[in-house]
Structure 1
Amino acid sequence: MIDWPLVQRLAAFVAGQPDTPASRHDLDALSRESAEAVIAYTGLHPQSELPTAEPVERAEWIRANIASMSALLDPALRQVGKRVAKPARPFVELATGAVMTAEVGVMLGFLAQRVLGQYEIVLLDTTPSDRPPRLLYVAPNLANAVRAFRADEREFLHWVALHEVTHAVQFAGVPWLQRHMAGMVRELLDSAQLKIDARRALRLPRTDDLKKVVEVVRSGDLVTLVASPGEKQTIDTMQATMAVIEGYAEHVMDAVGEPLLPGLPRLREALDRRRRSQSAPARLMMRLLGMEMKMRQYQQGKVFCDAVVRAGGIEALNRVWRDPSSMPTLAEIEDPAAWLKRTDVPPALTA
């Protein structure tokens, strides 16, 4: 139902094509150097080869993500289409396809303007050999950030590489992690339903409907607007897992970068300021796309990981990688002491 070639063209139009000066530094060499430092600090040992770094333009980043999104969405949308009565099916498929094509195109175009790097992996019931992960760096966005932050280019690239390579080490060093994430994605896709209520579709929204939408938009948690209780539980588990994955990378990039990057405090302050100081239209767009939820994952996950390491070192934090049951819940992300107690980490968490 989604016209993916049109998504590519629309996203490329929204993203724009800025002139990108060639970097003076080898991102693959920086990534290999970062991998050695991350492995030494975390003690996680990749069980498969890490991908080669790829500096890409925005259009290539969009193409890579379209490949991942189509693998996720197309099977789910086909199942949704089968649930619609045959007389209405062509109309529903056409209308749904047009709306989703526009939404996905605008979303990818907006994100392509902002993403610095990405460890790109398909979260489906697949093995890495089916679709190897990629380590992407969006060259024009990195160049823009270096200028905006007035940063030393090599330091900034090295810092970003530490974050993205940490994700590569996580997934290559924790065999169950990709399967765990894929299982949650599969559970949500299998439960996806299209519910059509003709009476509701034809009436104007009531005050209560509008209040609910406003509150959800304010919270940046749009996905819960249409989630069933069972789906909400899975979404909560996925959010907690993502908070750990992102927070772990945020912790590692600072912990490993501190002795290597003299300008680290200024880089961290500049990046946090960039995340906070979005224009009003950009902030609205971020909420509609769920990106504010992503920002909370960075922030809350890093606070959790920093607190656990202060209490028991990186060895304590690495308890999250024992098995899925060792992952913190959303409540434990807010209360690291409770997670430390549940996982039997000896040191007591101090304020």
Structure 2
Amino acid sequence: MLDPNFAAKMAVTLAGGAGEPGLPPVDLITVCDTAHARITDATGLVAAQALPPPEWVDREAWAAANAVSLSRLLEPITDRAGQDMGPLAGPLRAAAGGLATAEAGALLGLVAKRVLGQYDLTLTDPDVPARLLFVGPNILDAAAKLDADAGELLTWIALHEVTHAVQFSAVTWLRPHLAEILEELLGSLDVEVDWGALLKLPSASELRDAVDTVRERGLASFLGPARGDLLDRLQARMALIEGHAEWTMDAVAGELVPNLEELRAALDRRRAERSGLLRFADRLLGLDLKMRQYEEGRAFCEAVVALGGPELLSHAWAEPETAPGPQELADPEAWRARVSRA
């Protein structure tokens, strides 16, 4: 299985060190408490239990938390490696775990220097408490590079992450529903060793075809129809979650972030000025897909509010059946008609 300790250490090394967290530029607990109250007023979502306390952490602590989450997520897959290989099963499982550890460390290392905040939730293990993480060295560094007020930037980040905390606390079906989709998707993946493929390097044309396919159709292009449907459902739910957080931030940030427009413009420049290598890494990691989820989900929420106000949008959280499907995200009118009939 994946070794979270080694993956986290590898990530920190690739990120250039843990970084000096310093101190939050404003009182973090007060910022999150204020965000929580404003979010509840704007969305009507009432948390069923107390939200996790905010934590001001360095890159090492962030990487360690995410390495543990990845380990729990990938454990069913790495445990199935080599299950039909008889006496070779043990060595193959160990090799799969080593490969997963190296890949996790590399991926976390690419993100660790850039991530600002995270609502860390282990979907597949409800016994693991959620965490609300703010990566101090990255926030302070971003504020300096953007020439932005660090307190306003921290407030902006808190609005997004606290919205996620409120979503998962208030919408009681959300966590088990996503876990069910994810477990079904991961459980349907076969772990097989194709020795022929391992011994054969892909041609340049095969590599180009694979890159073009992922760019045009996403990861679903490598899954069967049933698995592709599962991935579409998962992405639709994530688009709602991320888009709703974006809409909520806009709805409540006015009084809390005085220089909102300037900050948003600076953050947009930060995304646009990434190097070609980082943009490639975004596509490889699926972060470009996350940005499309922000945009698509936010556009859906804005359109629904224009059609029927926040009250209509609240129906998206009533139960899994009323959440928008993949096609309805681009057609809010169709979603409203379906929900009205229901």
| TM superposition score normalised by structure 1 | 0.90
Whole-Å separation in 1 of the counterparts to 2:194 and 2:109: 32
Asked if the contact 2:55–2:132 (Cα under 8 Å) also holds between the matched residues in 1, the reply is yes
What does 1:205-244 align with in structure 2 at a 5 Å threshold? 205=202, 209-219=206-216, 221=218, 223-244=219-240
1:119 corresponds in structure 2 to: 119
Matched AA of 1:326:
T
Verify the 8 A CA contact 1:121 1:133 in the aligned structure 2: yes
RMSD: 2.0
From 261, 266, 283, the equivalent of 2:257 is: 261
* Equivalent position of 1:271 in the other structure: 267
Residue 155, structure 1, aligned to residue 155, structure 2: no
In the alignment, the residues of structure 1 paired with residue 336 and residue 300 of structure 2 have an alpha-carbon distance, to the nearest angstrom, of 11
Residue pair 1:146, 1:153 contacting (<8 A) in 2 also: yes
Q: Does 1:247 align with 2:243?
A: yes
Question: What does residue 171 of structure 1 align with?
Answer: 168
Residues 15-54 of structure 1 aligned to structure 2 (within 5 Å): 15=15, 16-54=17-55
Determine if contact 1:118/1:135 at 8 Å carries over to the other structure: yes
Task: Tell whether the 8 Å contact from 1:220 to 1:290 is kept in structure 2 after alignment.
Answer: no
Unaligned stretches of 5+ residues in structure 2: none
Amino acid at match of 2:178: M
1:73-102, Cα deviation, whole Å (9 max, x unpaired): 1233112332x3124424533443333222
- Identify if the C-alpha distance between structure 1 residues 91 and 143 changes in structure 2 by more than 3 Å, giving closer, same or farther: same
2:63 is aligned to 62
Q: How far does residue 17 in structure 1 lie from its aligned partner after superposition?
A: 2.9
Structure 1 residues 195 and 60, CA gap change in structure 2 (3 angstroms): same
Shift of 1:162: 0.8
Q: Distance in 2 between matches of 1:9 and 1:220?
A: 34
When residues 5 and 24 of structure 1 are mapped into structure 2, their CA distance, relative to the original with a 3 A threshold, is closer
Amino acid at match of 1:237: R
Whether the aligned pair in 2 keeps the contact of 1:28 and 1:54 (CA below 8 Å) is no
Please tell me whether the aligned partners of residues 57 and 139 of structure 1 are also in contact (alpha carbons under 8 angstroms): yes
Provide structure 1 residue ranges, at least 5 long, that are not aligned to the other structure. Answer: 346-351
- Separation in 2, partners of 1:69, 1:342: 37
Q: Which is worse superposed, 107-116 or 86-95?
A: 86-95
Cα distance in 2 for residues equivalent to 1:204 and 1:71: 32
- 2:285 matched residue in structure 1: 289
TM-score by length of 2: 0.93
The separation in 1 between residues aligned to 2:266 and 2:4, in whole angstroms, is 36
SS at match of 1:258: helix
Alpha-carbon distance in 2 for matches of 1:156, 1:198: 50
In 1, distance between residues paired with 2:115 and 2:87? 42
Q: Percent identity?
A: 41
Inter-partner Cα distance in structure 2 for 1:120 and 1:220: 28
Q: Name the counterpart of 1:102.
A: 102
* Structure 2 residue 17 is the aligned partner of structure 1 residue 3: no
Return the match for 1:131 from 125, 128, 134.
128
